[in-house]
Structures are given as C-alpha cells and as structure tokens.
A and B are shown apart, each in its own frame.
Chain A
Amino acid sequence: MRAKRIKGIKFGLLSSKEIRKMSASRIITPDTYGEDGFPIERGLVNQHIGVIDPGLRCKTCGGRMGECPGHFGHIDLEAPVIHVGYAKLIHRILTATCRKCSRVVLGEEDRKRFLEEIKRQKERQADVGEVVKQVFREAAKSSVCMYCSEPQNLIKYDKPTTYIEIDEGGKERRLMPTDVRERLERIPDEDVFLFGMDPENARPEWMVLTVLPVPPVTARPSITLESGQRSEDDLTHKLVDIIRINQRFMENRDAGAPQLIIEDLWELLQYHVNTYFDNEIPGVPPARHRSGRPLKTISQRLKGKEGRFRGSLSGKRVNFSARTVISPDPDIEIDEVGVPEEVAKELTITVNVTERNLDVMRETLKRGKKHPGVNYVRRVDGRKIKVTESNYEALAEELDIGWRVERHIQDGDIVLFNRQPSLHRLSIMAHYVRVMPGRTFRLNPAVCPPYNADYDGDEMNLHVLQTEEARAEAKILMEVQRNIISPRFGRPIIGGIHDYITGVFLLTRGEKRFEKEKVLDILYKIDIEDLGEYGGTFESPVRSEVSGMGFEEVRLSRYWTGKQIFSMILPKQLNLQFRGKMCARCIERGEGCKKENCSREAYIVIKEGNLLCGVIDERAIGSFKGIIIDKIFRQYREEVAKVFINNVSRLAINYIKQTGFSFGISDEDLPREGKELIREEAVHEAEKKVDELIRAYEGGELETLPGRTLEETLELLIMQELAHARDDSGIIAERYLSIENPGVLMAKSGARGSMLNLTQMAACVGQQSVRGERIKRGYQGRTLPHFKPDDRSADAHGFVRSSFKDGLSPTEYFFHAIGGREALVDTAVRTSQSGYFQRRLINALQDLEVKYDGTVRETKGIVVQFKYGDDSVDPSKGEYGKVVDIDEVIREAIGVESRS
C-alpha cells in the first residue's frame, strides 16, 4: 500500500447505511469456533472480518495473519437502541424540538440569529459550545410549538437510557427508542445546525442504533491457553451476549409474545449494548465475566492512564533501555554513568561494518558474548543471526563490509539517563557509559540535584541512542556539563552536596599544614602536574633509621596549606571575591564588612587561581548556589567547569576519607549548666510570660490587636512567646556547641541540616502546630484528659519543652505525632496537586516556540509574546537576569576584583 497524506480529519456519526457499507459480514450466530477448530461462517470470529490464526487467509482481502488489518462486520438489531454515549444529548434535543413536527422550538428571529452566530464561530474556527448551550436553553422555554401549535410536554431523562414524557395531566408515558428515532428523523436538516451538528456527517437519529458495527477479530483476538482451550476477548463475550438477546427478541416477537416480555427483552438488549460501550456507567451494574471480574469493554480500553491514549499511543515501553537502582560513586566523572556488566551485555548499538571498522568489529565479534562483544549480526542479504557460543568464531571469519553488527555498549558510548518524575529538561541528560562490576547504576553525587535523586533505593532509566544523528544531538544539547547552569534560575544546579562540602570546608578552614606525602595522598586521584610554591617549612621529628635506639632527629619539611591544596584545582586566571555562607551579615547590622580580616573566614578571596583567604562552603561550590562553579562556567565554559566539579568531588571525598568525619548521639550533649540555662532562661521564662498573658486575659486586661478577637490576640501572643522560647534555647545551645561539633559544622557549612534541627535535637523541640495554630482539638475544652478543662497553658496545647535527645514526655510525644502527621499529609497533598498543575501547564504551553524574530508563537503562528520574556533573555545565558553585567565587565577591564 502506498503511504498517503492526511488532508484532514472529519468527526461524525456512523449512519446505518455507512455501517452496512463498511461491513464485510453480517454476523448472525453467537458461536465462534466450530468443532473442527475452524471459525464458523457468519460467526463472531469469522474469516471475513480478519484472521488471527497463523496459516489462514482472510476471505475479504486475501491477506495472511499480520497482513490483513481486519474488517468490520455488523449485527442487525431487531429493535433500535439508544447509544449510551449520546443519551444526554438525545434528551436535550428531544426537549428542544417539537413533539409533533420536530422543529426546534425557537422563533424565526432567534433561529436566524443563532444560525448566524454558529456560522460565524465556525468560520473563526472557534468553539460553538456556548452558542449551542444557549439554543438548548432558549428552546426548552417555550411550551407551545410556534410552527404547528402543538403543546409541548416535559421529557424526563432516566439514567442511563430511558426517556419519559409527562403530559399536562401529569400522565407519564415511556418513549421507546423507536419513538425517539422517529422524532429525531423528522428534524429538518437546517435545524440540525442549531445543535452544532452537521447533518451531512451526523444526523441526530444516528445516535439511535439500528445496526451495530462489529469490530474486526484483530481488535479482539482470542488467546489459546496452555490446555489448548480458547479464551475469548471481553469484547467478543459482550458481542455474544448482544447476539443472543437479539435472537431471543426476534423469536419472541415472531411468536407473538406478550408486550411485557418483549419490553423486558428490549430493555435487556439495551443493557447489553450499553455495557458493550461502557461498563462503568453510574447506576448500572457492570457486566461481569464468569469469574466475577467486570468486563473491559470499549470505553475501558480507551480511558485513563493505562488506556489506549495515555498508555499505548502517548507512552509505551521501549527497546534499548534499562532500569535499576542507583548508587553513588564520587570517583567517576559527573558526565559518566556506571553501567553493570550484565546490563551492558544486553544493550546494543547497531554498527554498519565498513572498510574502516572491519578489523575492530571482527575483534569484537571474536569475543562472542563476553563483554565488549556482539549479540546479533545481520548479513548483507538481511538475514539476522543470533551470536551463540558455537557460531561466533565462524561468524567472525565470515564478517564482511556491509554487515550490521549489534555490539554491546562499552566505555565511552553516549546514553540518555533519566529519573522520573521528569519535571524539567534536566531530568533527562546524556552520560557516557562506564561498564563496572555490580548490579546498580553508578552516579556521581554532584549530579543528584538536577535529577532530584538520592540513594535510598531510587531507580533510574537508561536509553541507548541508536543513530549517529541522535548521538550528535545528545552530545551537543544534553551532556551533563552543558546543563550545569539551570535554565530555571541561571545558577549552577550541579555542584557539591553533603560530604563534598564538609570535605572542602574542613580542608580550607584555618591554616592546616600538610607535608608532601600527605598532599600527595589527598591529590593522587587528581590530574595535577605541579604542586607549585610550598607554603613554608616546619620542623618535624623523624625517627632516625641509622641509629635506631629511639634517637630522634629533627628535620625541616616543606608544607602546603589546605587552601593551597584547594587552589591547585582552581583555573590559573580565576579572580573572585565574595562572602560565603559563614557571613554574619555585618553589613546589614551596619558594622561594615571586615573583608580579609573576617574572624569567621567568611570573606573569600581568590586571586589568579589562589585561594588567599576564606573558607570554602556551600555558597562557593554547592549546588543551587556555587559561586565558584558559576564563575568558572561563565569564564571558561562547560569543559573546565566539569573538570572542576570532578576534581572537587575527588579532592573532598579523598580528604574527608582520610581525616574521618562522624556525627553521633553524644554530639547532641550539652553540659549540665547549659541545660539548666535553657530550662531557666528560655523555657521557664517563656512559660511564666505565657501565664501572665493568660492572667491578663482572664482579668480582662489584655489589649485586643486590630482585626482580631480577644482570643485570637491571646493565642497569637502566646505563640510568639513560645516561638521565642525555642529560638532562645537554640541560641543558648549554640554557645555550648562550637564549630568543632560535627553537627554545627555541617549546618554552618551548608552540607546538611540546619541550626534549627540541632536546636530541636539538643535543646528544645518547641511548639507543635496544626494549621498554624496551637493544638486545641480533642475533648471539650481540653486536648487530653491529662489537663484541666480550659487550661490555656503551654504544656496543654502542644509545647514540647524537651529535646529529642532527652526524650519527650507521653503528652509531648502525642502532640508531636499530631504535628508530624499534618506535615506528612501536607507533603502528600502538595505533590499530587503540584503534579497535576504542572501537567496542565505543560499541556497548555508545549507547542509554544521562540521564533527567529524573537516572538513567541503557537502552532498557527499566533503571537503570544512579542518579545520572549519581554527582554529576550535566556536566564541560563544572561548574567543574573540581564543581558550583560556591565559593572562586572568594567571591573574586569580596569582590573578590580569581582563582585561579592
């Protein structure tokens, strides 16, 4: 068949005539296979409407299985039935049309106006829905037909497919599908337009079925069970039901059965046709399989996440992909991914054998199925041969130009790596393969932030690119180093996390001195040629080998400082000055920055690639902030930035591995005096003030805050006071926990956790809240039976004075559980809501494109924005929201160091 071009798509209803025309066979028997095992003529699995058995030929088109696409058949229904999908529309049309002449009950003027309005909307390719709604509203108003003066009756719609007409006397009469069809048939073509329908393609009476199309067997294939028994598709089962009832209806009617029985059978036929279309109609018991499982009929096949649209057309399973758990490896580069050998032997790349790669491919093939080997070869004649233990040597001999070889992926191959949910473009990036032992994908922790990945069991997907074009595109657009700067906020999203930050923080803090051996131990994984100028010399005792006997000799050794070691991975011309995370905001407090003399080492100065002062922390190399990474990326582009992050990752991990770093329960200990201070000065003080507030309230002395009731005022003030208590205890705790405390070190350097976390562990957990208020639900007037009714004190409403380390009292524990649950529910609700919101946004925006003239347009070329973002700046390319940072350019030109 020749490929054809789609000119347009027409939506409409199938008329009985059309259904018959496209039918290849009229189905009359509910049976499927005969005793001989062959499909029965005129049956539901009929050889005219498609073949699913190998070896048989289609009697309509002559195609074999796989060639014949299948053909529709039809069932002649003995009595018309309503199509459930249109039941509501039919009701609206019945209500809008005259019961006698079937014209739309609208005055000539209104009719003309609406017709024109619809025509205009159609010309504009706009939605006619609103106008049609108005038509139905207007037409339902009149109680007498203005064309034949027939009084109009109310028509009641009884779900799912029954219509009842009520006359003025209140007498009810059921409208049978035949009546409905008659009325719909009488509607003149011109009036059909008023319903937004086109009588050419969709006459209203076509919504009442007299003929039922039978989908081809290829759309409902039966499966053969192991026992040799055939099991039919759900749709076939449903069609069997329909044919059976159809036949019984005919027999009963021909035999002159009483009207009551006929009507019952009619109703049953309607039920079967309804459930054939949709088996989840509200108020209708679903048709079930013998096992009790509801049948999956047409609507169920299409609807929902696993339905045809979302499950089979928009998304499907793919080849050349792998999925497994991820685990960290700081020694691989950020643009690499460690692939288990098992996976590498399953994923392949097809290579065309040419003059130039013949020898290499032959070598690969000679390894057979061992790692960088081959799974399949395709000869010049197109035959595909599986490589096995027994034939690989022969195939290697035979291999020639023009063959195609499906070789294993190996080190250096480019692949796409992805973690769901894919919320932004950085959720899929290109990595280079590194085949490794083990069963997990290995990923450098610095690349976790863009994927939002961690290693608590996360799984990720890997896709092998199959064409040279795809590989080139991935390399240019999707490489990890190309995406260091986030398009969302224009700062690096890839950078140090957790131990990386702790590592460099420890290394660059103060004046740590390392002798040469130590330096080499730290740097051996990094490609550095020259250690450069040493920092100085110190005297170190050396046990003399010659004399032994415990005699010690003093030797002068050269040393390098931690800051010098860090400088070795900085590019040589880097100049930078900024305030780090340790900065205490002296400027904001009006004290002026001490810069180089900062006692916290919060002022970082880098001159010509040398870290002169300051300690490296989250703000310098962390993801989301990473001022040094940002600067290197802008000054030297992605390759240098990538090397820098690789080096930071090796340097930090290597150093922290050698010094060791741990956080234990004893690190949350406070000295006795500290604890007392917290109890006395922070907690007791606050509780006293709360009691005073309550007394003031009860004594009527409390002043109401504007816009609040007296109670609200009290609550607000108590909340403030108790929040104060926690902050104060945190400040006191901080006095006893120095930067040497690993918890504090992690919090202050930005590696993990916050001072609040530490306060809660060591000093005081603080007030628990539900919906931003103190906990007050429970019994009448009190939260728990442990308290007196109407007790407004801190303890009775969820103030936890203990720390996590000390442990919570039973009531405190209970309040904490209440607050904790709210947090859990909140996150669950938020993620689902924001996920849906994101989906809607993407659906709305996905076709917008920035054109070469700078405008943003949708598919028809309609302008959405005359200038992208009003300023045509891509946040990841510009300088912090501007096209150029003029101040910075000037500073650079006149040789003054950079911004803070």
Chain B
Amino acid sequence: MKKGKFSILEHELVPKHEILEEREAAALLDKYKLQKEQLPKIKKSDPVIKEIKAEVGDVVRITRRSRTAGKSLSYRLVIE
C-alpha cells in the first residue's frame, strides 16, 4: 500500500477476496467436478489481487452481497 492512500480492500464497493488454501481449492474443484481452467478468471494485475498478493494459479473466494440471496460466493482462478 502506497503512503497516503487507503487500502482498496476497505472500500464498501470492493467485495471480500480471500486466497483459498490448497486443500480448500481441491475440495471446491471436486465439489463442482471442475478442471482448474473451468473456473472464472481474474487477472493478476487486478487491483485487489495485487493487494492480497495472490499468485498465478491461486484460487480466490469472493464474497459478495447479493440482492436475491443476501450473500453469494464465487471463485476465481488467478491468471497472468
């Protein structure tokens, strides 16, 4: 985080991003019977990804507020 700036993670419009542990990621892929490439993608250059320091190949869990369901989970694979 640069000096004098606030962390974008604090902003209310930025949903929560978390890096999944190896074990969790495997469980996720198993649950939905997915290949890693079939996950939605997110670029490594994405501001939030830079901020949480995720690496290419990591899977992040994104928790959003949802109008229909209250809270919704989605997962993205970090790519170049």
Which chain B residues lie closer than 8 Å to A866 at the CB level?
Answer: 32, 72-75
| B37: chain A residues within 8 A (beta carbon) | 862
> Are B38 and A870 within 8 A (Cβ)?
no
Residues of A contacting B40 in the complex (Cβ-Cβ under 8 angstroms): 862-864
Question: With an 8 A cutoff between CB atoms, is B1 at the interface?
Answer: no
Q: Which of B46-78 contact A (CB under 8 A)?
A: 66-69, 72-75
User: Can you sample 18 A-B contacts with CB below 8 Å?
Assistant: A853-B32, A861-B35, A862-B37, A863-B32, A863-B34, A863-B39, A863-B40, A863-B75, A864-B40, A866-B32, A866-B75, A867-B72, A870-B66, A871-B66, A871-B68, A871-B69, A871-B72, A881-B68
Q: Which residues of B contact A881 (CB under 8 A)?
A: 68
Residue of B nearest to A861 (CB): B38
Of residues 821 through 859 on chain A, the ones whose CB sits less than 8 Å from some CB of chain B are 853, 855, 857
Whether the pair B34, A870 counts as a contact (CB closer than 8 A) is: no
CA separation between A86 and B69, bound complex, in Å? 52
- Contact: B68 with A870, CB < 8 Å? yes
What 0/1 pattern do residues 858 to 883 of A give for CB contact below 8 A with B? 00111111110111010000000100
> Are A863 and B72 in touch, CB under 8 angstroms?
no
Q: Min CB distance, B63 to chain A, in Å?
A: 12
Residue in B32, B68, B69, B72 whose CB lies within 8 Å of A855: B32
Compute how far the CA of A871 lies from the CA of B66 in the bound complex, rounded to whole angstroms: 9
Residues of B within 8 A of A873 (CB): 68
A contact residues around B74 at 8 Å (CB) = 865-866
Known contacts A853-B32, A870-B66, A871-B68; 18 additional CB pairs below 8 A are A853-B33, A857-B38, A861-B34, A861-B38, A862-B38, A862-B39, A862-B40, A863-B38, A863-B39, A863-B40, A863-B75, A869-B68, A869-B69, A870-B67, A870-B68, A870-B69, A871-B66, A873-B68
> For residue B38, which residues in chain A have a CB less than 8 angstroms away from its CB?
857, 860-863
Task: Kindly list the 8 A-B residue pairs having the minimum CB-CB distance in the complex, ordered from nearest.
Answer: A871-B69, A870-B69, A870-B72, A870-B66, A871-B68, A862-B38, A870-B68, A861-B38
Interface size in chain A (residues, C-beta < 8 A): 16
Chain A residue at minimal CB-CB distance from B35: A861
Question: Roughly how many angstroms separate A230 CA and B34 CA in the complex, as a whole number?
Answer: 62
Write the chain A residue with the least CB distance to B67: A870
Which of A857, A867, A870: most chain B Cβ within 10 A? A870
Minimal beta-carbon separation of B34 from chain A (angstroms): 7
Closest to A881 in B: B68
Contact yes or no, B69 A867, CB < 8 A: yes
Chain A neighbourhood of B39, CB < 8 A = 862-863
Expressed in whole angstroms, the Cα–Cα distance for A873 and B67 within the complex equals: 12
CB of B62 to closest CB in A, whole Å: 10
> Bound state CA distance, A864 and B39, in angstroms?
8
Bound: A862/B39 CA distance, A: 6
Nearest CB to that of A864 among chain B residues?
B40
Q: How far is the CA of A198 from the CA of B30 in the complex (A)?
A: 38
Give CA–CA (A881, B67) in the complex, Å: 10
B contact patch SS? loop
Q: Return B73 CB to nearest CB of chain A, in Å.
A: 6
What chain A residues lie within 8 Å of B66 (beta carbons)? 870-871
A863 to B41 Cα, complex, angstroms: 10
Q: Contacts of B72 on A, CB cut-off 8 Å?
A: 866-867, 870-871
Closest Cβ–Cβ distance, residue A653 to chain B (whole Å): 40
| Closest CB in chain A relative to B41 CB, distance in Å | 9
Give the distance in Å from the alpha carbon of A862 to the alpha carbon of B73 in the complex. Answer: 16
* Identity of the chain A residue whose Cβ is nearest the Cβ of B74 in the assembled complex: A866
Which residues of A sit under 8 angstroms from B68, Cβ to Cβ?
869-871, 873, 881
Q: When chains A and B are docked, how far (Å) is the Cα of A284 from the Cα of B34? A: 54
Nearest Cβ in chain B — how far from A863, in angstroms?
6
Nearest-CB distance from B53 to chain A (Å)? 23
- B16-39: CB near A (< 8 Å → 1, else 0) gives 000000000000000011110111
A866 to chain B: closest residue by CB: B74
- Give A689 Cβ to nearest chain B Cβ, in Å: 43
**Closest Cβ neighbor of A873 among chain B residues:** B68
Min CB distance B40 to A, Å, is 6
Bound CA–CA A866/B39 (angstroms): 10
List, in ascending order, chain A residues with CB within 8 A of B34's CB.
861, 863
**Distance to closest chain B CB from A859 (angstroms):** 11
Give the Cβ gap from B69 to chain A, nearest Cβ, in Å.
4
User: Which residues of chain B have C-beta atoms less than 8 A from A857's C-beta?
Assistant: 38
Residues of B near A853 (CB, < 8 A) are 32-33
A504 to chain B, nearest CB (A): 35
* Cβ-closest chain A residue relative to B64: A870
> Who on chain A is nearest to B40 by CB?
A863
Docked pose: A865 CA to B39 CA in angstroms: 10
Cβ distance A122 to chain B, nearest Cβ, rounded Å: 14
Nearest A residue (CB) for B76: A863
In Å, the complex CA distance between A861 and B36 comes to 11
- Residues of chain A within 8 A (CB-CB) of B75 are 863, 866
Complexed CA–CA distance, A871 and B72 (Å) = 8
Find the B residue at minimum CB distance from A851.
Answer: B32
Residues in A with CB closer than 8 Å to B67 are 870
Query: Which one of B32, B66, B68, B69 has the greatest number of beta carbons of chain A within 10 Å?
Result: B68
Give the one of A853, A857, A862 with max B CB within 10 A. Answer: A862
Tell me, in angstroms, the Cα distance from A866 to B35 when the chains sit together. 14
User: What sequence of 0s and 1s flags, for each residue 644-681 of chain A, a beta carbon within 8 Å of any chain B beta carbon?
Assistant: 00000000000000000000000000000000000000
Type the 1/0 row for A509-536, where 1 means its CB is closer than 8 Å to any CB of B. 0000000000000000000000000000
Residues 730-743 of A, flagged 1 when their CB comes within 8 A of B and 0 if not, give 00000000000000
Q: How far is the CA of A867 from the CA of B73 in the complex (A)?
A: 8
Q: Which B residues lie within 8 Å of A864 (CB)?
A: 40
Please indicate the chain B residues that have their CB under 8 angstroms from the CB of A863 in the complex: 32, 34, 38-40, 75
Chain A residues with CB under 8 Å of B33's CB are: 853
Docked Cα-Cα span, A427 to B1, in Å, equals 54
* Residue in chain A with minimal CB distance to B37: A862
**Minimal Cβ-Cβ distance residue in B for A868:** B68
Distance of A771 from chain B, by nearest CB (Å): 32
Chain A positions 281-320 with a Cβ under 8 Å from a chain B Cβ:
none
A855 to B, closest residue via Cβ: B32
What is the distance, in angstroms, from A63's C-beta to the closest C-beta of chain B? 47
Which residue of chain B is the closest to A872 with respect to CB atoms?
A: B69
CA distance A418 to B56 in the complex (A): 50
Residue of B nearest to A871 (CB): B69
Q: Output the least CB separation between B16 and chain A (Å).
A: 15
Residue of A nearest to B62 (CB): A866
Closest residue of B by beta carbon distance from A862? B38
A866 to B74, CA, bound (A): 6
List of A residues within 8 angstroms of B32 by Cβ: 853, 855, 863, 866
Which residues of B lie under 8 Å from residue A867 when comparing CB positions?
69, 72
Nearest opposing residue in chain A for B28, CB measure: A866
Minimum Cβ distance to chain B for residue A488 (Å): 15
Alpha-carbon distance A863/B76, docked complex (angstroms): 10
B70 vs chain A, min Cβ distance (A): 8
| Chain A residues closer than 8 Å to B69, beta-carbon distance | 867, 869-871
Closest to B72 in A: A870
Which of B32, B33, B37 is most buried by chain A, counting CB atoms within 10 A of its CB?
Answer: B32
Residues of chain B with a CB closer than 8 A to A860's CB: 38
Q: How far is the CB of A244 from chain B (nearest CB, A)?
A: 56
Cα–Cα distance between A870 and B66 once the two chains are bound (Å): 7
Query: Min CB distance, B60 to chain A, in Å?
Result: 13
Q: Tell me how far the C-beta of B15 lies from the nearest C-beta in chain A, rounded to whole angstroms.
A: 13
Residue of A nearest to B73 (CB): A866
Q: How far is the CB of A518 from chain B (nearest CB, A)?
A: 51
**Distance, CA A860 to CA B69, complexed state (A):** 27
Give, as a whole number of angstroms, the nearest-CB distance from B32 to chain A: 6
Who on chain A is nearest to B39 by CB?
A863
A865 to B69 CA separation, bound complex (whole angstroms): 13
- Residue of A whose beta carbon sits closest to that of B80: A120
Q: How far is the CA of A863 from the CA of B66 in the complex (A)?
A: 18
* Distance (whole angstroms) from the CB of A489 to the closest CB of chain B: 14
A861 to B38, CA, bound (A): 6
